[in-house]
A and B are shown apart, each in its own frame.
Chain A
Amino acid sequence: MTSNTTTVAGGGTGTAPPRRGGGRPSLRSMNVGVLREVALLPVLVVLIIVGAVVSPAFLTVSNFAGIGQQSSALGVTVVGESLILMIGGMDLSLEGTYGLAPMVAAWLIVPVAAYGDGTNWSPYLGILVLLAVGAVIGLINGLLIVKGRLNGFIVTLGMTIVLAGLQNGIVKAQSLFNLPGPFSYLGAASIGQVPVSLIVAVAIFVVTGLFLRYHRTGRAIYAVGGNPSAARAAGIKIDRIKIGVYVAGSVLAAIGGLMEAGRVSAVTGQQGYQEGIIFNVFAAAVIGGVSLKGGRGNMIGAASGVILLGIVQDILDLANVSNYWIEAIDGAVILFALFLARIVGGESTAEES
């Protein structure tokens, strides 16, 4: 029996045997998918026009490289949050991880003069520590939420405060600087005009997008988020997938934190929690069509959400909006974009299967 299905499946690889009535509907749902995925395109075009009007410096390669570099850290974190939202969860503590993971790593590698611990570990070891810190935080969240059956909102809210407290406590609110080259490479370096962080972020978006679409675990994520009981009844190990996604989300937030640290060549006590990046993380994901109810969303949407926020931020900077007002305007634009995305994308647009 196994062999027989495999034969059928083998024949189906690459050249799908056209099923009766298969062509039209799949075309139709593809159109829906495409429509949703480009839902933000008109908004982006309008923003680019606005940007060009506001400042002649907007439509330049260096400006866009800057936007890319600034958005990369956020983008990688948004990938993590999107995965968690897709399984029907939520993680507020990604901003805490985003700050604490690079803080701990840097603390172990920079000299005492730069407020380090004095262990002076190799920067490569530091990067491993950073990933491990992310994984451990995600694992604790996942176990508490999935195995401990605690509410994800409260668990990750509590975790956020703990992480932010640790971040301040470790260096007594000082900033760690003098980051060694290999540690800041990801956030600071460029290949030609293109920031390394942008290349890595794009790669992470693409790989995650393909994973979600073409990997059985990726498909299981949609199933678990769409109807956990049905996924369980179909033999999917939903606990393992949920915990795995919490771990992956936190590791991605830690990588985002590493990019940010490299970009500003320091790890400040403010990074993450005190900057309040979690609002932007959620906003980018939701503007991009990732459902807070789980089961829906994709990486093209999430990426356009990130790009949109990046361009808005850039335009506000270029327009010399007063620092006192910038947050109010930023927030209002995000709310408007959410509304717009809801109108264009709708809630019913399903992920193409």
Chain B
Amino acid sequence: MVDDLKPPAPNNTPAREAVKPAEGVNLSRKTTTAAIKKPVGKKKKVADDTSPLFSRRSWLAVAWGSFSAASAALLAATGRFMFPNVLNEPPQQFKIGFPDEYAPGVDERWKDRFGVWIVRTPSDVVQEASGFYALLVTCTHLGCTPNWLSAELKFKCPCHGSGFRPTGINFEGPAPRPLERARIVMAEDGQILVDKARKFQFELGQWTDPESFLRI
């Protein structure tokens, strides 16, 4: 154990004085080490100096330092590994055809593939114009997929019974807020383009945004 090694007693203790050193011999630990001690990391050598380039301390510092840096980099790379670059998920932007292909009311043809209901209305509750809006099929309670009950003219979530009007506004059950609308615009070729990357929430006053409703 390192603790067992005690440094030699300083020169002024009685035990030392009992043994007189020979002339010229220096018993002091301080001066002895100072004579051969080189500054850490210094590489300058004098002509007949045979001490190593790196002290053991500086070499270990370099080794530990680079090992720690490499380990930190590896850890960061592992963290980045967990975020995939490619997703096998349906695209967020998609065209859904021409306006003429849609009758007034709720259309379910894209519900399974893209997760939106396309609703054509003669008079929107907020925009007060005729046109299209796209409702995201995610219940605002805990994320289940509601069903469109055409006979009762409402969206009803099977998980906990949240109910939404065709406009998306919640009126029964535990849902705290209306269904969200996706961005819906006209593409250059005349088809309707739905963009789920941008969503609009009624309770934040975002349904007045022109991109949340396509006026036809």
A and B together in one complex:
no
Interface residues of chain A, those whose CB is within 8 Å of chain B, are: none
